Amino acid sequence: MDHFTYRDGVLHAENVPLTAIAEAVGTPVYIYSRATLERHAQVFREALSGLPRKHIAFAIKANPNLAVLKVLARQGFGADVVSGGEIARALAAGMKAEDIVFSGVGKTRAELQYGLDMGIGQFNLELEEEGAVLADLAHAAGKTASAVLRVNPNVDAGTHAKISTGKSENKFGVPISEAKAIFARLSGRPGLNLRGVALHIGSQLFDLGPLEAAYARIGELVRELRGEGHGIDRVDLGGGLGVPYERDKVPPSPADYGRMVERVTQGWDVTLMFEPGRVIVGNAGVLLTRVIWVKPGVTHPYVIVDAAMNDLARPAMYDAWHDFEAVRPSGEKIVAHIAGPVCETGDTFAMNRTIDVVRSGDLGIFRTAGAYGATMASTYNSRPLVPEVMVDGDRFAVVADRIEPASIIAAERVPDFLQD
Ligand SMILES: *Cc1c(COP(=O)(O)O)cnc(C)c1O
């Protein structure tokens, strides 16, 4: 459920007509609904209420905007981060260091050190050598790093190849078959408290089967590790729950997921860590855009909008679907293609899509743009960096400025040898 609904024929975010935001801020612009964010956070938390010990760390790569993080911090969420920059953001949003999980396949020594200095609650190790380096850095600082080992359970999550992370050929985690040997070598090292295991098999999951199979394997691994004398008190179950990009394709609900987790983790006697991203923010955001032209096409017209692949990369990157709707729909429909102004054929949001009739100057939205949207934006084609707005009831605020090309040009230098 979200708070982007039509009232008197005009699409609103909570109580604010999107026409008002377009007028005040211009387009394209991302719009987040605070009430939707809060609702999603509460639904996810309630879905896990039957579990005795758990911690929810929002995967902030899905939407690292400070205002969004602030809302989630107030809901008691920590952060799952994958870089030093994301640590800085989580802390800036008021999240506690001990509530931060540091994932990421290529943490540098400097980032590990920064994480230690800040007192990060859990390091998710991606390889044995990383564990050894972390132990040494921590020991040298007179600290003990709390860590878990990310394993790759070799399951096919059944999602798009570019967001599948739990197959043996993917770059993430250590093969589950090697986990015991790595544990034996790393645990007991001064500076390291290796206390559990982690997994994350992919994103936009629509089938709980592969997740349940992966979790069951992890449960088996926990028993084996305990059998070898390791004290295991944490298991990180990752994120990955899908969201409905197309209204008639409904993913498993957080409640379905929670029931599955309760069933499969019965008797584990650990703190369960969760790293949801998309499911929290996906439907809490839309990308508002204005139609520049409706260009006649050979089969169907091209609706050329002022948002492009540099603002919302998912269609170009993952062949992703985003519903398009007019802000003031007339009720008429046409079949059209929707594309942005960037000089790439891939800058196409939809082909042969039945959409609301729109004309030059009309406003429209791409739905479900709150996750992996603004955060992947670039300035390709020297376009401005897209701004972000948060709505809260009757009010709204710009929560990220539009960065104009002039500011970006100002950060570039023409060297002496090119001055004439
Ligand atoms: C991306 C990622 C997540 C979040 O994935 P979603 O599909 O957005 O829920 C969680 N954990 C890790 C390690 C990730 O890389």
pLDDT tens profile 217-235: 999 999 999 999 999 999 9
**pLDDT tens-place string over residues 153-170:** 988 877 888 877 888 888
**pLDDT tens-place string over residues 324-377:** 999 999 999 999 999 999 999 999 999 999 999 999 999 999 999 999 999 999
Packing angle of the helix pair 128-140, 179-186 (nearest 10 deg): 20
The pLDDT value recorded for residue 253 is 96
**Any ligand 1 atom below 6 A from CB of 251:** no
Tell me if 389 sits within 8 A of 397, measured CB to CB.
yes
Sheet holding 10-13, edge to edge: 4-7, 10-13, 16-17
Beta-sheet strands, E only, within 43-190: 54-59, 78-81, 100-102, 122-125, 145-152, 174-175
Q: Is 344 annotated for ligand binding? A: yes
Neighbouring CB atoms inside 10 A of 382's CB total: 9
Alpha-carbon gap, residue 107 to 150, rounded angstroms: 14
pLDDT over 80 (residue 133): yes
**Over the chain, what is the mean pLDDT?**
96
Burial string for 133-171 (b: 16+ CB within 10 Å, else e) reads: bbbbbbeeeeeebbbbbbbbbbbebebeeebbbbbeebe
The pLDDT value recorded for residue 158 is 79
What is the position in ligand 1's atom list of the atom closest to the CA of 150? 13
All domains of the chain in start order, with CATH: 4-32+282-410 (2.40.37.10), 34-279 (3.20.20.10)
The pLDDT value recorded for residue 56 is 98
pLDDT over 80 (residue 1): no
pLDDT over 80 (residue 55): yes
The pLDDT value recorded for residue 160 is 82
Active site includes 251? no
Structure token pair of residue 57: 């760390």
Structure token pair of residue 91: 């802390």
**Any ligand 1 atom below 6 A from CB of 187:** no
Handedness of CA 166, 283, 41, 314 (dihedral sign): positive
Residue matched to tokens 């500011």: 407
Q: Identify the band that residue 84 occupies on the pLDDT scale cut at 50, 70 and 90.
A: very high
Please choose from 200, 273, 375, 376 the residue to mutate so as to test ligand 1's pocket, defined by most ligand atoms within 8 A of CB. Answer: 200
The pLDDT value recorded for residue 86 is 98
- Percentage of residues of the chain with pLDDT beyond 70: 100
**Any ligand 1 atom below 6 A from CB of 276:** yes
Alpha-carbon gap, residue 97 to 117, rounded angstroms: 10
**Any ligand 1 atom below 6 A from CB of 306:** no
Model-level pTM?
Answer: 0.96
**pLDDT tens-place string over residues 256-301:** 999 999 999 999 999 999 999 999 999 999 999 999 999 999 999 9
Q: Measure 60 CA to ligand 1 centroid, in angstroms.
A: 9
**Which residue out of 343, 406, 409, 414 is catalytically annotated?**
343
Tell me if 154 sits within 8 A of 194, measured CB to CB.
no
Round to the nearest angstrom and report the end-to-end CA distance of the chain: 60
